[in-house]
Amino acid sequence: MITIGIHYLDDVASVDVRGKFIKGQGGFQLQRTIDKVLEAGTEKILLNMTDVPMVDSMGIGEIVRAYTRVKEQGGTLKLVGLTTRVYGALKITRLLSLIETFSNEKEAAAS
C-alpha cells in the first residue's frame, strides 16, 4: 500500500509517495492529493518518489494523470528521487522526455 504526504518548500508543494506504486495499492490517493494541492492554489508540485521501490503500469498511469491534471491547471509537476527501478520503467515509456526529473527536492524547487 502506498502512503502519501505533503510538505511545502516556500511556494512549492512536495507530494511524498511511499511504498510500491502498483495495482491495488491506492493509486486514487495521488489524484485526490494533487486535486487538494491545486485547489489550495499551489501550481508548482514535486512528486517525491524517493521511497517508491517499484512502479507498474497502474502507477505510471497515475503519474501521467497527475501530470496532465497539473498541466491543465497551468501548473508544473516534476519528479524527484527516482530509484533505479522506477527510473527504468519511466524511461521505457518515454515519460522522462516529458516530465522533468531531479535527484533531490532542493534542485527541483529551485528550477
pLDDT surpasses 70 at 26: no
Tell me, what's the pLDDT at 100?
Answer: 96
Please give the pLDDT value at position 89: 94
Whether pLDDT at 102 is above 80: yes
Record the pTM: 0.92
SS (H, E, C) the chain: CCEEEEEEECCEEEEEEECCECCCCCCHHHHHHHHHHHHCCCCEEEEEEEECCCECHHHHHHHHHHHHHHHHCCCEEEEECCCHHHHHHHHHCCHHHCCCEECCHHHHHHC
Q: How confident is the model at residue 28 (pLDDT cuts 50, 70, 90)?
A: confident
Looking at residue 22, its pLDDT comes to 85
Q: Please report the pLDDT score of residue 60 as a whole number.
A: 93
